[in-house]
Amino acid sequence: MRVSVIGATGYAGVELLRLLKNHPEAEVVHITSESQAGKPINEIYTHLNGLYEQELISMKEIDTIANDSDVVFIGLPHGHAMAVGKALVGKNVKIIDLGADYRFTDTSVYEQWYKVEHTHKDAQRVYGLAELYRDQIKTATIVGNAGCYTTASILALAPLAKKGLIELNTVVVDAKSGISGAGRSASLNTHFAEMYDNLKAYNVGGHRHTPEIEQALSEFSGEEVVISFTPHLIPMSRGILSTCYANLKKGVTAEAVDAAYQELYKDEYFVRLLGRGAYPQTKNTRGSNFCDLGWHIDERVGRVVVLSAIDNLVKGAAGQAIQNFNIVCGFEETTGLTNVPVYP
């Protein structure tokens, strides 16, 4: 398949290039950047020397891109993918958007949290969290790739929500992310000396991944769910750990919890069930598309605590996009995604 990457110079975009390089069914034809158009990508990312040396073009050349591509990945900031999506309507091109524009079934939720008008409300889109929306993804034209925090958190809580084992209004998600999640823009928030040996929360109660998690949990449970979600910046490069708390419904046993995880994920290659009492760690997933899950029953307080680790740039972005690409194209879902985590 001929693929293009619109917005290739962000961390998610360049991670896509890494994974596509060894994907046996994909050939990268165009890569775009508005600010760096005309330059070869390896001038922007020197680790690509000898691997990718092609020139970045502007996405204004969308017609050329459409003609030359079977699938287009979009790695633009939210609010910018809709224009691409609309421009490609009627062309024979599938879209996998790594941003937020196509994640929401109810676009008014998007508009409320992202403070942007949604201009492509009638898009044939599907939420791109493969393990939980696989059947819809198979036939989608536009996949709204799930976010990074949300992937870790939804995979952690889905078995409990689907089986009705928890009080959904007690869900607290305390999530921690490496700093690559903040993107490549230079700022005090991403300054080495400021963040090294440092730790802080941000956007308490207001992070835009909150409604995305709520949408999924509501769909799984049939209830309208609201949750507490707190993201934190951790002084590391990659990785997300999501620590999820919920009250167990009365009478729910540890075995029922175990069974829920087994049932939903036992055949999933990318979800590794470490089991009850286990402690996932982000480094175990680095560079790979795995999501590692462990869960704990705290009987003293009647809560379940689920721990979920991913690489934010892989399962949380580019890897999941490739996984969706494989589904959309009818390839084996693990194609190009079988690399072993880079440890230590």
Report 256-315 residues binding a copy of itself (CB under 8 A).
269, 272, 274, 279-287, 290, 292, 296-298, 300-301, 303, 305, 307, 309
Instruction: Let me know: does 251 contact 221? Beta carbons within 8 Å.
Output: no
| Contact residue for a copy of itself among 12, 71, 241, 257 (CB under 8 A) | 241
Which residues within the stretch 195-224 sit at the binding site for a copy of itself (CB under 8 A)?
195-202, 204-205
Q: Return the number of the residue (119 or 228) whose C-beta is nearest a copy of itself.
A: 228
Q: Is 239 in the site for a copy of itself (CB under 8 A)?
A: yes
| Contact residue for a copy of itself among 35, 38, 46, 251 (CB under 8 A) | 46
Q: Is 245 in the site for a copy of itself (CB under 8 A)?
A: yes
Q: Is 106 in the site for a copy of itself (CB under 8 A)?
A: no
Told to judge if 148 belongs to the known catalytic residues of this protein, a careful annotator would answer yes
Single out the catalytic residue among 148, 244, 291, 329.
Answer: 148
Q: Is 190 in the site for a copy of itself (CB under 8 A)?
A: yes
- What phi and psi, each to the nearest 5 degrees, are found at residue 278? -90, 160
DSSP 119-185: S-TT--EEEE-HHHHHHHHHT-SEEEE--HHHHHHHHHHHHHHHHT-B-GGG-EEEEEE-GGGG-S-
Q: Is 109 in the site for a copy of itself (CB under 8 A)?
A: no
Instruction: Let me know: does 107 contact 91? Beta carbons within 8 Å.
Output: no
Which residues within the stretch 324-343 sit at the binding site for a copy of itself (CB under 8 A)?
338-343
Distance of CA 273 to the CA centre of its chain: 19
Q: Return the number of the residue (96 or 309) whose C-beta is nearest a copy of itself.
A: 309
Q: Return the number of the residue (122 or 250) whose C-beta is nearest a copy of itself.
A: 250
In angstroms, the CA 57 to CA 62 distance is 10
Burial of residue 300 (CB within 10 Å: 0-12, 13-18, 19+) is exposed
Per-residue DSSP letter, 11: H
The count of C-alpha atoms lying within 13 angstroms of the C-alpha of 99, restricted to the half-sphere facing its C-beta, is 23
Give the interface segment with a copy of itself, choosing from 2-10, 57-65, 124-132, 229-237 (CB under 8 A): 229-237
Q: Is 243 in the site for a copy of itself (CB under 8 A)?
A: yes
Instruction: Let me know: does 316 contact 152? Beta carbons within 8 Å.
Output: yes
Q: Return the number of the residue (28 or 84) whose C-beta is nearest a copy of itself.
A: 28
Q: Which of 47, 83, 87, 64 is nearest to 4 (CA)?
A: 64
Q: Is 179 in the site for a copy of itself (CB under 8 A)?
A: yes
| Contact residue for a copy of itself among 49, 105, 112, 334 (CB under 8 A) | 49
In angstroms, the CA 237 to CA 234 distance is 8
Q: Return the number of the residue (132 or 309) whose C-beta is nearest a copy of itself.
A: 309
Which residues are catalytic, by number?
Answer: 148
